[in-house]
Amino acid sequence: MISIYPRGADPKTRWYKDEPDINLTINQGQLCIDPAFYTFEEHRQYVVRTVMWSDKKYKETRFGSRLVMAAFEIKNGHAYRVVLEEREL
C-alpha cells in the first residue's frame, strides 16, 4: 500500500493504491517513485506513507511488514526533506 498526498490534504481526497502496479525501489536508502507512477508539483510539500512487505522476513519472524512515512518538498525538480509534525504520524 502506498499513499501520496499534499501536506494538509483532506483524508477523503488523498491518493493511494493498495497494490501498486509498478515496483517501487529503494536506492541508497531512498524510496524511488517513477514519474509515471505519480506526478509531483513544484513548490509543494508531500507526505508519503507506504507499507513494505518482505516474504523472507515473514517466514522467519511472522512479521513481514513495515510502515514507512516521509515528508518532503519539491523545489527545482528535487525533493528536500521536511520534518513530519506529531499529528501527521
CA 19 – CA 80 distance, rounded (Å): 26
16: amino acid identity, one letter: Y
Reference 41, options 6, 16, 2; nearest CA is 6
Kindly report the number of other CB atoms within 10 A of residue 70's CB atom: 15
* Domain encompassing residue 55: 2-88
What is the arithmetic mean of pLDDT over 57-81?
A: 83
Between 25 and 80, name the one with better pLDDT. Answer: 80
Cell triple for 83: 520534518
At 5-61, the pLDDT tens digits run: 999 899 888 888 887 777 677 788 777 888 888 889 999 999 999 887 777 766 677
Predicted TM-score (pTM) of this structure = 0.78
Distance, in Å, from the CA atom of 71 to the CA atom of 84, rounded to the nearest integer, reads: 6
All cell numbers assigned to 9: 490534504
pLDDT of residue 65: 79
How many independent structural domains does the chain possess?
A: 1
pLDDT at 19: 78
